[in-house]
Structure 1
Amino acid sequence: MVPKGWKKTHLKCVISGAIKNGYSPLPASTTTGYWVLSLGALTDHGINPLEIKPVVVDEKVKQALLSGGDFLVSRSNTPNKVGRSIRFKNEVQNCSYPDLMMRFCIDTTKADPDFIEIKLKSTEVRQYYKSCAAGSSSSMVKINKAVVENTPLLLPSFPEQKKIAKILSTWDKAISTTEQLLANSQQQKKALMQQLLIGKKRLLDSNGVRFSGEWKAQRIGSLLKEVKRPVQWDDDSEYHLLSVKRRSEGVVLREILKGSDILTKKMNTALAGDFLISKMQVVHGATGLVTEEFNKCHISDSYIALRPKDDEKIDIAFFSWFSKQKIMYHKAFLCSYGVHIEKMTFNFNMFVKEKVIIPATLEEQQKIAAVLSTADQEITALQQKLDALKQEKKALMQQLLTGKRRVKVEEVA
């Protein structure tokens, strides 16, 4: 059903002039002042500045220069990216587009460019391009001019187009603001880690006095011990299996399996406060702290669980943060052997002989861990807010672009 006041049409009915393929020029080894977009330049959030390359200047490059307001569509790409579109907003001067893309302009007397920009990013249009693409389903596929010209559009009246675009633009601004806040928080956390974990910046103790005194070098083996809690196996029981992500991204629940479905019967119980090391992935930063959420879950024998030897000497939360540093990645690498980095074997006995330079007092360790955990919580909250905003916008976009939800527009006298 076509909503009242809306009409079915095609992209070719609202464009100005013809759709044009781009030109792929010779790459330049140095900056020439002229640029071309690479295949990965078109993203769902605009142009990726890292995918713009300098080119050798010729007449064809100049003929392919983009102007503000031009639309670009990826005509050759992977199945999930073919038909990806953006509106060029003069992000780069003297920028051209390659033969892998098509360019067109919207006739502003026939449609609102802001609305068309949103429409071309919709699930329906992207699915249309994907269904029309020719080529291998697992590699590069192509769409032609006829496909783009016949892009189906369901258009409301001009005032309603503008109102919808304005509403969704407000959501975009909220999303953009939250993304910036998230990026700032992530940068601040990174800076805090770099300063706090090497003693470059010292915090205040419980009396408001700044911590002082030299940090001490201590063997890891003098601070931590391995613990094993073997599981009494039962094929009828369910086991919540944990995994540790690379790049210090923490402990996660991998899957829940019945005992009879698990081939390796060697399993241990993990408790909150365990520091886990993946023997197979430690060179990639696969270490993390078990939180209360995963208390009494299970780990295979390919994981090492560590606890403090003396709770007065090391705070395990601090050690978890300390382990996120590059120097700890390097120590893990030095304590591993093998030809290929993906198949290296971790030597735990060598690792515990390595030394770490840490605060002499437990209080300073705990203060550092608390500050970094607070920064992490702020990032998590912002990420959740961002995810919610994107999901809400997606749902609203689906309703507004199909006419399921109508907006009020001022009547023209």
Structure 2
Amino acid sequence: MSLDANELKSAFSGQWIDVRLGDVASIGSGGTPKSTVSEYYGGNIPWVSISDMTKRGKWIGETDKCLTELGLSNSSARLYPKNTILYAMYGSIGECSIAQADLASSQAILGIVPSDCLDFSYLYFYLCSLKDNVKSLGQQGTQANLNAAIVKDFKLKLPPIEEQKAIAKILSTWDVSIATTEQLLTNSQARKKGLMQVLLTGEKRLPGFEGEWAVNALSDCLSESRIHSTENNPHKRLTVRLHLNGIEARACRGTESDGATAHFVRRSGQFIYGKQNIHKGAFGLVPECFDMYETSQDIPAFDFKENCHSQWLLYYCAQESFYQRLEAKMTGTGSKRLNPADFLKTHIAMPSLREQLAIASVLSDAEKEIEALQKRLECLKQEKKALMQQLLTGKRRLAVDTELTEEAA
């Protein structure tokens, strides 16, 4: 049976209490009007789908689709008030958002309307803290999912309302820091992309450089390396990841046998690519830690000639406009491949070695800035997660003035 506000106020007495979510919130699912009825859509009532939640994150006020009053009244769709917690039951199970305005939702989403004793923002963070474990609660079938009955039975640790608000305020501050860092990261990534577009094409020149660039075949910059492996060790094999994600050691396959396929020694600093997937960004430079590892002929390797700086060429090849075009050079039936001879025939515009070094230095600095922001963002997320584990369980208490006070666990 649900607890009313007076019963909860009496139960608190300044302490935390354990409650069922269904006892402190109204919970119901939404609905989807028939898509064939055009009069149901195009109104001014935001209608939230799972894709809206994953796209927009914490706060939702605008949606891809809006309902008309007719669409709302002629379906099981429900209108939820501002500050309703939207909770995904299917697909992205456990995703949470907060309604910024009155809106409706699909049947894949629960609307959770807190009672007076439950702060909506506190509930949002509490549900977010359950996300890693909530999938195990879902009904199993072709697709795991939750339902209203399961969510109503969630156990909730509840401090007095003022402490809830203080906790939510602290965690919201972390959200602002995370969002700010995410935006800085997005800006830095866009800046690097812009620099690559102008510096690697010669559209913009760095100070002190002028003159036409030479157009050379890659064979003028690279030579294929074919050092046969005498060790032929299945535990020292490399693979190239897609989408410019670099090179890594490949797990040893149980079906491999020594000497079954010819392998070649790869040295640190060499350029290597996957014959079948170079057009998907499967290439890179061999890291020092993988010196003397091996690949089959499906991952050829190349040494750099004196007129070409390795990092500059890697940046050049990392342009989508370059590596996606290589698909046209791939040959064969079934799985097409880019053979080294055809790769080396590819022509590129090359500045002098000195200008290559200068361009690589600018892009490397931009990359370091991105890496620093990525590390900062990950640290913020981990620190927030640790703080949530303490604040949402009562292991660390907040006074109403939001100053932290420790309690014994």
Q: Give TM class, smaller chain.
A: 0.7 to 0.9
User: Paired residue for 2:298?
Assistant: 302
Q: In the superposition, relative to structure 1, how do residues 338 and 68 fare at CA in structure 2: closer, same or farther (>3 Å)?
A: farther
User: Paired residue for 2:20?
Assistant: 10
**Kept after mapping to 2: 8 A contact 1:40/1:48:** no
Unaligned runs of 5+ in 2: 1-11, 403-409
AA at the equivalent of 1:160? E
Correspondence list, 1:106-117, <5 A: 106-107=114-115, 109-117=116-124
Q: Secondary structure at the match of 1:141?
A: coil
Q: Secondary structure at the match of 1:303?
A: coil
Distance in 2 (alpha carbons) for counterparts of 1:331 and 1:143: 45
Q: Which residue among 319, 324, 333 is the counterpart of 2:313?
A: 319
User: Paired residue for 1:229?
Assistant: 227
Q: In the superposition, relative to structure 1, how do residues 265 and 198 fare at CA in structure 2: closer, same or farther (>3 Å)?
A: same
Distance in 2 (alpha carbons) for counterparts of 1:120 and 1:260: 46
AA at the equivalent of 2:107? D
Q: Could you tell me how far 1:262 is from its partner in structure 2?
A: 5.9
1:133 pairs with 2:138 = yes
Q: In the superposition, relative to structure 1, how do residues 346 and 260 fare at CA in structure 2: closer, same or farther (>3 Å)?
A: closer
Distance in 2 (alpha carbons) for counterparts of 1:329 and 1:65: 49
User: Paired residue for 1:100?
Assistant: 108
For the aligned residues, what is the CA RMSD? 3.1
Q: Could you tell me how far 1:287 is from its partner in structure 2?
A: 1.0
Q: Secondary structure at the match of 2:398?
A: coil
**Kept after mapping to 1: 8 A contact 2:80/2:103:** yes
Distance in 2 (alpha carbons) for counterparts of 1:53 and 1:258: 48
**Kept after mapping to 2: 8 A contact 1:241/1:298:** yes
User: Paired residue for 1:345?
Assistant: 337
Distance in 2 (alpha carbons) for counterparts of 1:55 and 1:396: 37
1:23 pairs with 2:19 = no
1:358 pairs with 2:368 = no
AA at the equivalent of 2:366? A
AA at the equivalent of 2:85? F
Q: Secondary structure at the match of 1:345?
A: coil
Q: Could you tell me how far 1:234 is from its partner in structure 2?
A: 6.5
1:229-269 CA-partner distances (Å, limit 9, x unpaired): 3332166xx84433222122222333478998767553333
Correspondence list, 1:10-409, <5 A: 10-15=20-25, 18-27=26-35, 33-43=44-54, 46=57, 52-54=63-65, 57-61=68-72, 64-75=78-89, 77-78=90-91, 81-90=92-101, 95-107=103-115, 109-123=116-130, 127-128=133-134, 130-136=135-141, 139-204=142-207, 209=208, 211-233=209-231, 239-255=235-251, 264=260, 266-309=262-305, 311=306, 313-338=307-332, 343-359=335-351, 361-409=352-400
AA at the equivalent of 2:100? K
Distance in 2 (alpha carbons) for counterparts of 1:31 and 1:368: 50
Q: In the superposition, relative to structure 1, how do residues 201 and 44 fare at CA in structure 2: closer, same or farther (>3 Å)?
A: closer
**Kept after mapping to 1: 8 A contact 2:44/2:67:** no
**Kept after mapping to 2: 8 A contact 1:43/1:84:** yes
Q: Could you tell me how far 1:202 is from its partner in structure 2?
A: 0.5
Q: Could you tell me how far 1:176 is from its partner in structure 2?
A: 1.2
Q: Could you tell me how far 1:58 is from its partner in structure 2?
A: 4.5
1:326-351 CA-partner distances (Å, limit 9, x unpaired): 332244212212466xx222222122
1:36-69 CA-partner distances (Å, limit 9, x unpaired): 32333223972698x9433563524367344421
Q: Secondary structure at the match of 1:337?
A: coil
Distance in 1 (alpha carbons) for counterparts of 2:137 and 2:247: 42
Among all aligned residue pairs of Structure 1 and Structure 2, give the percentage whose two residues are the same amino acid: 32
**Kept after mapping to 2: 8 A contact 1:218/1:357:** yes
Q: Secondary structure at the match of 1:43?
A: helix
Aligned residues: 383
**Kept after mapping to 1: 8 A contact 2:43/2:69:** no
Q: In the superposition, relative to structure 1, how do residues 169 and 48 fare at CA in structure 2: closer, same or farther (>3 Å)?
A: closer
Distance in 1 (alpha carbons) for counterparts of 2:140 and 2:217: 58
Q: In the superposition, relative to structure 1, how do residues 193 and 36 fare at CA in structure 2: closer, same or farther (>3 Å)?
A: same
Q: Secondary structure at the match of 1:12?
A: helix
Distance in 2 (alpha carbons) for counterparts of 1:390 and 1:263: 47
AA at the equivalent of 2:158? L
Q: Could you tell me how far 1:31 is from its partner in structure 2?
A: 5.6
**Kept after mapping to 2: 8 A contact 1:185/1:375:** yes
Distance in 1 (alpha carbons) for counterparts of 2:78 and 2:107: 10
Distance in 2 (alpha carbons) for counterparts of 1:53 and 1:201: 39
Q: Could you tell me how far 1:117 is from its partner in structure 2?
A: 0.8
1:175-210 CA-partner distances (Å, limit 9, x unpaired): 111111111100000111111111111012xxxx2x
Distance in 2 (alpha carbons) for counterparts of 1:89 and 1:262: 62
Distance in 2 (alpha carbons) for counterparts of 1:261 and 1:387: 41
Q: Could you tell me how far 1:83 is from its partner in structure 2?
A: 3.6
Q: Secondary structure at the match of 1:346?
A: coil
Distance in 1 (alpha carbons) for counterparts of 2:58 and 2:387: 24
